[in-house]
C-alpha cells in the first residue's frame, strides 16, 4: 500500500524520488522508497530517518516538529540548504515534504524530490497531494489500529493460554469451545480431543451435572464462586479443582458462552485431609485425657457450688434485713420533706435523704465484690454532672465534719464540663468510700477534695483527676502495697473506734478500673493520705452540657424591639417559637417552607431568621443560600433549627449561609444565647428589696452557725477569693454566674443568710447582664469577708 501511495504522488507531481515515512510512536521510520529508476525502488521496513542517506533529513525533522508542509523550489540555490551535504552530493532541485495528519495527529511524512528542474511543484499539484494525503492518513490510521488490535489479541491469547489457572470456554449447548494449555497439561487431553466435546465428560461422572441454563442462572446471581469439581484425567487420575465462572453476551445481549476459571487444589485438598485426620487423632487423645480428670473436676465443682450457694443465700438474707428498715427511713424522710419549712430542719432532712440514698447503694458492697470477682459486674454510663455529685458527697459528711471541728475544702476547676459520661452510681460509691475513710481517720486539720481536668487531643474527650487529701492517721509505707486488697486493714487500727471490714478500698479500686480509670495512694504515717483517681478519655456530652440549667431564667430578659421570621413546616413548632419570642418583646412573622421565606423576607426585613432545615417544597439549605444571594437579605443573620444528627450539625458549621444553629427540641438557653448575638437586652434595675443584702447586720447567729464560719472562711480563702480577684475587673458573665452559685450554695450549707442574699443578688445581675450592678456587687465582696471574720471572732483566729 505504501508503494502505491508513493506511485500516485510521484505521477501527479512528476517527481523522480519519493520516500514514505511513518510515525511508529517512538521514532520516524522509512517504510518505502521509490525513484524513476526501477532498480532503486525498495520497501524499507523500519529504517530510521536519522540514519538514512536518501533524503534531506533536516526538512523531515522540521515537518515533524511543526506539522506543516515545507516546499523548496530550488534547493541548490536556497542559502538555507545549498551547503547541506545531502544537497551537494545528490543535487536535488525542487523538494516537497508534507505531514500525513488524521484528526490532528501525525501519522507520517511524504517526501518528494525533483532533479530535472526547479519550481516543479505548483500550487495545483500541491492541492492534489493534500487530497491524496487525507486519504492516505485515514488508511494509515486504520492500518495502525488493526495492527494494535492484533498485538492486543496476541497478547491476551498468550496470557490466557499460558495462565497457571485452568481456563475453559463452553457454549450454550455445553460444548467446549476453548481450553488453555494448563487444562491440557493437567488433564492430559489435547485441545483437539477436548474442543467440540460435552464439558461434563471432562468432570467426574458422580458429580450432579447441572444444565447449562441452571449454571447461567447461578452465574447471573453471583453464586458460581469457588465451585468444586473433580476433573477426569486421561490417565485415570482424579484432580480436585475449584472454579469461578462468568458469562459472555453478544451484541443483542444474549448469552453465548460461559467462561470458567479454575485452580488445581488437589495437593492442598490432600494436605487438608491429612491435617483433619491428625486433628481427629489429637482430639480423641485429648478426650481420653480429659475423661481421666472428669470425676475429680465434678466432685470439686459440686463442693464449690454448694459453698457459693450458701454464701449467696447469706448475702441475700443480709441485704434484705438491712434494706427493709432503711426503706422506712428514707420513705418517711421524703414525707417529712413536704411538711417541714424550717431551713435548718430541712438541711437535716436533706442529709438524711442523701445518706439513705447512698447507704442503699453501699449495702451492695459485699454483693458487688462477689460480682466483681465472678466477672459479672457491668458498668452503665450515663450523663453525670460531676460538680453536683461532689457537692452531694460534701453534703452527706457536713454534720460529721462540723462535729469533729475539721475543715472540708472543696476545689473544683471551672473547666470541669457540666455533662460527662460516667457511671454515676459506681462513681458515687467510690467517692463515698474514699471521702468516708478520710472523715473517719481525720481528727484534726482538714480534708481537701480537688477536681481538675486535662484536655485530650480529641476535643470531645477529657482526662479527669479527682484527689482526696486528708491530715489523718496516714498509712505505713510497708502497708501501701496491700491497702487495696480485700479484708486488709492497717496494722494496729482500733476496730472498735474506726470499725469497717476492709472491703471499701478493695471495691473502690476494682470499680475505678472497671470504669477505665486508675487509683493510687500516697501516705505518711501520722501525717495523712492522698488518694488520686484518674479517668482517661471521658466523653463530654456537648448536647447535654448545653441543656444543663444555668440558674437563670432567659424568659425574664427583655430585648429592645426587633423582628424575627420563623420558617418551619410544623404548625406547633411555629406556635411555640412565636409565643416564646413574644415573651421577650420580639415581633414575629411566619413562613411554612423555605420558598415562602424567600418571598416574605425581602419585604418584611426581619432582624433574624430562624430556619428549619428539613421542609417540603424547599429545604433550609437552599432557602438560606437564596436569601444570602438576595441584595435585600444578605445582611440578615440566619439561625438553623435542626433535630438532625451530629453529622448534619457538623455540616451546618461549614455552611456559609448559616450564622448559628439551635437543636430540637428547642433549648431555651441555647436559643437565648443566639438571640443575645443579634438583639440588645433591656437593662433591668435591681431594687434594694430584690438584693436583700444585710451587709450592716449579720442577724441572730446561733452557736452552731458561728462554729461553721471558720470553715466557710477557709473555703473562701482556698479558691473563691482568688477567683473574685480575677473577675472583679472583667466580669465574665458565665464565670461570675458559677461563682455566685457557689457562694449561694455555701450560704445554704452553713445557714448564713447574708451569703445566700449576696449570692442571689450576684446571680440575678449576671442573669440579666447588668454589668454595672455586677461591678458594684463584686466590689462589696471584701465587706462580706470582713463581716464573716468579725462574726467568727476569736474562734476564727484560733483555727487559723
Mean pLDDT of 207-233: 68
Helices 343-362 and 266-337 pack at an angle, to 10 degrees, of 150
Which tens digits make up the pLDDT trace of 573-599? 888 788 888 888 899 999 999 999 999
- What pLDDT does residue 799 have? 42
- What pLDDT does residue 557 have? 65
The C-alpha cell that represents 686 in the structure block: 435591681
275 located within any domain: no
Kindly state whether residues 402 and 528 are assigned to the same domain. yes
Kindly state whether residues 522 and 659 are assigned to the same domain. no
- What pLDDT does residue 596 have? 95
Residue 645 CB burial class (10 angstroms; 0-12, 13-18, ≥19): exposed
Q: Is the pLDDT of residue 257 over 90?
A: no
* Total number of domains constituting the chain: 5
Do 753 and 699 touch, CB atoms closer than 8 A?
yes
739 located within any domain: yes
Kindly state whether residues 526 and 566 are assigned to the same domain. no
Helices 123-161 and 2-13 pack at an angle, to 10 degrees, of 180
- Cα–Cα distance for residue pair 100/2, rounded to 1 Å: 13
Kindly state whether residues 140 and 177 are assigned to the same domain. no
Query: In this predicted model, which residue has the larger pLDDT, 124 or 796?
Result: 124
The C-alpha cell that represents 668 in the structure block: 431555651
Q: Is the pLDDT of residue 58 over 70?
A: yes
Which tens digits make up the pLDDT trace of 424-448? 888 988 998 899 999 989 999 999 9
Kindly state whether residues 119 and 227 are assigned to the same domain. no
Place of cell 460480682: 371
Kindly state whether residues 110 and 127 are assigned to the same domain. yes
609 located within any domain: yes
- What pLDDT does residue 270 have? 86
Which tens digits make up the pLDDT trace of 286-338? 887 887 778 777 877 777 667 666 665 565 555 545 654 665 565 556 546 65
Kindly state whether residues 455 and 598 are assigned to the same domain. no
- Cα–Cα distance for residue pair 431/416, rounded to 1 Å: 17
Kindly state whether residues 587 and 528 are assigned to the same domain. no
Kindly state whether residues 626 and 662 are assigned to the same domain. yes
Query: In this predicted model, which residue has the larger pLDDT, 699 or 359?
Result: 359
- Cα–Cα distance for residue pair 265/296, rounded to 1 Å: 47
Kindly state whether residues 666 and 788 are assigned to the same domain. no
DSSP string for 608-627: EEEEESS-SSS-HHHHHHHH
- What pLDDT does residue 589 have? 95
- Cα–Cα distance for residue pair 541/383, rounded to 1 Å: 7
In the beta sheet, which residues pair with residue 230? 240
The C-alpha cell that represents 419 in the structure block: 455533662
| CA-closest candidate to residue 93, choices 113, 71, 79 | 113
HEC states along 712-733? HHHHHHHHHHHHHHHHHHHCCH
- When mean pLDDT is compared across 369-373, 616-620, 645-649, the lowest value belongs to 645-649
Helix, coil or strand: residue 334: helix
The C-alpha cell that represents 232 in the structure block: 477426569
218 located within any domain: yes
659 located within any domain: yes
538 located within any domain: yes
Last residue of a domain, one of 515, 545, 575: 545
Task: For CA atoms 77, 78, 84, 87, give the dihedral sign.
Answer: negative
**Structural element, H or E, at residue 60:** helix 57-66
Kindly state whether residues 501 and 401 are assigned to the same domain. yes
Do 659 and 634 touch, CB atoms closer than 8 A?
no
* Domain harbouring 460, CATH code: 3.30.565.10
HEC states along 201-255? HHECCCCCCCCHHHHHHHHHCCCCCCEEEEEECCCCCEEEEEEEEEEEECCCCCE
- What pLDDT does residue 800 have? 43
Backbone dihedral region of 78: left (phi > 0), alpha (psi from -120 to 50 degrees) or beta? Answer: beta
* Domain harbouring 656, CATH code: 3.40.50.2300
Q: How many CB atoms lie within 10 A of CB 140?
A: 22
Kindly state whether residues 518 and 597 are assigned to the same domain. no
* Domain harbouring 795, CATH code: 1.20.120
| CA-closest candidate to residue 393, choices 370, 362, 364 | 362
The model's pTM: 0.34
Strands 446-455 and 407-412: parallel
Share of the chain above pLDDT 90, in %: 14
- What pLDDT does residue 97 have? 92
209, 567, 576, 590, 613 from 651: Cα distances, Å: 57, 19, 26, 25, 12
Q: Is the pLDDT of residue 750 over 70?
A: yes
- What pLDDT does residue 655 have? 60
286 located within any domain: no
Mean pLDDT of 115-136: 79
Which tens digits make up the pLDDT trace of 682-701? 754 444 444 444 444 455 56
Mean pLDDT of 377-397: 83
Q: Is the pLDDT of residue 570 over 90?
A: no
The whole-chain average pLDDT of the chain stands at 79
Provide the residue range defining the domain that includes 66: 2-156
- What pLDDT does residue 755 have? 85
Confidence of residue 634 (pLDDT cuts 50, 70, 90): very high
- The whole-angstrom distance between residue 684's C-alpha and the CA centroid of its chain comes to 45
Helices assigned H by DSSP within 338-416: 343-362, 365-374, 386-404
Last residue of a domain, one of 107, 123, 156: 156
Mean pLDDT of 151-169: 83
Length of the chain: 800
DSSP string for 778-798: HHTHHHHHHHHHHHHTHHHHH
Do 564 and 586 touch, CB atoms closer than 8 A?
yes
Last residue of a domain, one of 214, 231, 264: 264
180-184, long-range: CB < 8 A, 24+ apart: none
| CA-closest candidate to residue 414, choices 458, 451, 461, 464 | 451
- When mean pLDDT is compared across 277-281, 541-545, 696-700, the lowest value belongs to 696-700
- What pLDDT does residue 343 have? 72
- What pLDDT does residue 556 have? 52
Q: What is the CB-side half-sphere exposure of residue 425 using CA atoms within 13 A? A: 16
- What pLDDT does residue 779 have? 85
295 located within any domain: no
Amino acid at each position: 500500500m505504501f508503494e502505491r501511495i508513493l506511485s500516485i504522488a510521484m505521477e501527479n507531481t512528476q517527481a523522480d524520488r519519493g520516500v514514505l515515512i511513518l510515525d511508529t510512536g517512538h521514532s520516524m521510520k522509512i517504510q518505502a522508497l521509490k525513484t524513476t529508476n526501477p532498480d532503486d525502488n525498495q520497501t524499507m521496513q523500519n529504517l530510521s530517518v536519522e540514519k538514512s542517506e536518501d533524503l534531506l533529513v533536516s526538512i523531515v525533522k522540521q515537518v515533524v516538529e511543526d506539522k506543516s508542509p515545507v516546499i523548496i523550489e530550488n534547493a541548490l540555490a536556497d542559502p538555507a540548504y545549498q551547503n547541506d551535504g545531502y544537497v551537494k552530493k545528490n543535487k536535488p532541485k525542487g523538494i516537497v515534504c508534507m505531514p500525513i495528519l488524521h484528526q490532528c495527529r501525525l501519522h507520517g511524512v511524504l517526501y518528494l524530490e525533483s532533479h530535472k528542474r526547479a519550481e516543479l511543484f505548483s500550487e495545483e499539484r500541491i492541492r492534489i497531494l493534500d487530497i491524496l494525503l487525507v486519504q492516505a492518513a485515514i488508511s494509515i490510521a486504520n492500518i495502525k489500529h488493526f495492527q494494535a488490535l492484533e498485538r492486543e489479541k496476541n497478547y491476551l491469547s498468550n496470557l490466557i493460554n499460558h495462565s497457571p489457572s485452568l481456563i475453559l470456554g463452553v457454549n450454550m449447548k455445553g460444548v467446549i469451545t476453548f481450553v488453555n494449555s494448563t487444562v491440557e497439561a493437567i488433564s492430559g487431553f489435547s485441545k483437539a480431543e477436548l474442543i467440540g466435546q460435552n464439558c461434563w465428560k471432562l468432570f467426574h461422572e458422580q458429580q450432579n451435572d447441572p444444565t447449562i441454563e441452571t449454571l447461567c442462572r447461578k452465574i447471573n446471581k453471583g453464586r458460581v464462586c469457588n465451585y468444586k469439581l473433580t476433573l477426569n484425567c486421561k490417565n485415570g487420575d482424579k484432580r480436585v479443582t475449584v472454579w469461578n465462572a462468568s458469562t459472555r453476551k453478544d451484541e443483542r445481549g444474549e448469552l453465548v458462552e460461559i467462561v470458567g476459571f479454575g485452580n488445581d487444589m488437589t495437593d492442598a485438598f490432600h494436605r487438608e485431609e491429612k491435617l483433619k485426620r491428625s486433628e481427629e487423632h489429637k482430639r480423641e487423645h485429648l478426650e481420653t485425657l480429659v475423661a481421666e480428670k472428669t470425676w475429680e473436676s465434678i466432685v470439686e465443682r459440686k463442693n464449690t457450688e454448694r459453698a457459693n450457694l450458701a454464701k449467696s443465700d447469706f448475702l441475700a438474707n443480709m441485704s434484705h434485713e438491712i434494706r427493709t428498715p432503711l426503706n422506712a427511713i428514707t420513705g418517711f424522710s421524703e414525707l417529712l420533706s413536704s411538711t417541714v419549712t424550717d431551713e435548718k430542719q430541712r438541711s437535716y432532712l436533706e442529709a438524711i435523704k442523701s445518706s439513705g440514698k447512698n447507704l442503699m447503694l453501699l449495702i451492695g458492697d459485699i454483693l458487688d465484690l462477689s460480682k466483681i470477682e465472678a466477672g459479672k459486674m457491668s458498668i452503665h454510663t450515663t450523663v453525670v454532672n460531676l460538680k453536683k455529685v461532689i457537692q452531694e458527697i460534701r453534703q452527706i459528711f457536713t454534720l460529721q465534719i462540723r462535729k469533729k471541728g475539721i475543715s472540708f475544702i472543696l476545689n473544683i476547676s471551672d473547666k470541669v464540663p457540666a455533662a460527662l459520661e460516667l457511671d454515676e452510681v459506681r462513681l458515687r460509691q467510690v467517692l463515698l468510700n474514699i471521702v468516708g475513710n478520710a472523715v473517719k481517720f481525720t481528727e484534726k486539720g482538714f480534708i481537701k477534695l480537688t477536681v481538675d481536668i486535662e484536655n485530650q487531643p480529641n476535643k470531645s474527650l477529657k482526662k479527669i483527676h479527682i484527689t482526696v487529701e486528708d491530715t489523718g492517721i496516714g498509712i505505713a509505707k510497708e502497708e501501701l502495697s496491700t491497702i487495696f486488697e480485700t479484708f486488709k486493714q492497717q496494722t494496729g487500727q482500733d476496730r472498735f473506734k474506726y470499725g469497717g471490714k476492709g472491703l471499701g478500698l478493695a471495691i473502690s479500686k476494682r470499680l475505678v478500673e472497671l470504669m477505665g480509670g486508675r487509683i493510687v495512694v500516697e501516705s505518711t504515717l501520722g501525717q495523712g493520705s492522698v488518694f488520686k483517681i484518674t479517668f482517661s478519655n471521658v466523653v463530654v456530652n456537648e448536647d447535654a452540657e448545653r441543656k444543663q440549667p444555668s440558674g437563670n431564667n432567659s424568659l425574664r430578659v427583655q430585648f429592645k424591639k426587633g423582628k424575627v421570621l420563623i420558617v418551619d413546616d410544623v404548625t406547633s413548632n411555629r406556635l411555640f417559637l412565636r409565643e416564646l419570642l413574644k415573651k421577650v418583646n420580639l415581633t414575629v412573622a411566619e413562613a411554612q417552607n423555605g420558598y415562602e421565606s424567600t418571598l416574605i423576607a425581602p419585604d418584611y426585613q426581619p432582624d433574624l431568621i430562624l430556619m428549619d432545615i428539613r421542609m417540603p417544597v424547599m429545604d433550609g439549605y437552599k432557602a438560606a443560600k437564596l436569601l444570602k444571594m438576595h441584595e435585600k437579605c444578605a445582611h440578615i443573620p440566619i439561625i438553623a433549627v435542626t433535630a438532625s444528627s451530629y453529622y448534619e450539625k457538623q455540616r451546618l458549621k461549614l455552611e456559609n449561609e448559616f450564622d448559628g444553629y439551635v437543636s430540637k427540641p428547642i433549648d431555651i438557653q441555647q436559643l437565648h444565647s443566639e438571640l443575645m448575638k443579634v438583639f440588645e437586652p433591656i437593662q433591668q434595675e435591681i431594687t434594694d428589696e430584690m438584693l436583700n443584702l444585710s451587709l450592716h447586720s449579720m442577724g441572730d447567729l446561733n452557736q452552731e452557725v458561728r462554729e461553721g464560719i471558720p470553715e466557710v472562711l477557709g473555703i473562701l480563702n482556698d479558691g473563691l477569693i482568688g477567683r473574685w480577684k480575677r473577675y472583679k475587673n472583667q466580669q465574665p458573665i458565665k464565670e461570675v454566674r458559677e461563682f455566685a452559685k457557689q457562694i449561694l450554695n455555701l450560704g445554704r450549707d452553713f445557714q448564713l443568710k447574708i451569703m445566700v442574699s449576696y449570692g442571689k443578688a450576684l446571680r440575678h445581675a449576671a442573669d440579666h447582664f447588668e454589668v454595672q450592678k455586677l461591678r458594684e456587687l463584686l466590689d462589696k465582696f471584701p465587706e462580706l469577708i470582713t463581716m464573716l471574720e468579725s462574726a467568727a471572732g476569736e474562734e476564727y483566729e484560733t483555727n487559723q
